[in-house]
Amino acid sequence: MPKTKKEFDQVKYQNQFINEKYDRINLTVPKGDKAVIKERAAAAGESVNEYINQAIKQRMENASNA
């Protein structure tokens, strides 16, 4: 039986939303730093992404206040 309605593709929708609303940055860190960042993020109750974004935001705010 052929489908007459298009099915909603959640993954496609999320990927399109991310591509429209966010920029991606590929971050390279020295060996071992990834594990430390993950541990510190978990201790702060944040994801690695949240932790890194917050660190960048704080650094930018400090630079603009200097």
Domain chopping of the chain, boundaries: 28-66
What's the rounded Cα separation, in Å, for the pair 44 and 32? 19
Tens-digit pLDDT string for the chain (66 aa):
555 677 899 999 999 999 999 999 999 999 999 999 999 999 999 999 999 999 999 999 999 987
- Cβ neighbors of 46 (< 8 A, separation 6 or more) are 54
- pLDDT number for residue 7: 87
Read off the pTM: 0.74
- pLDDT number for residue 2: 59
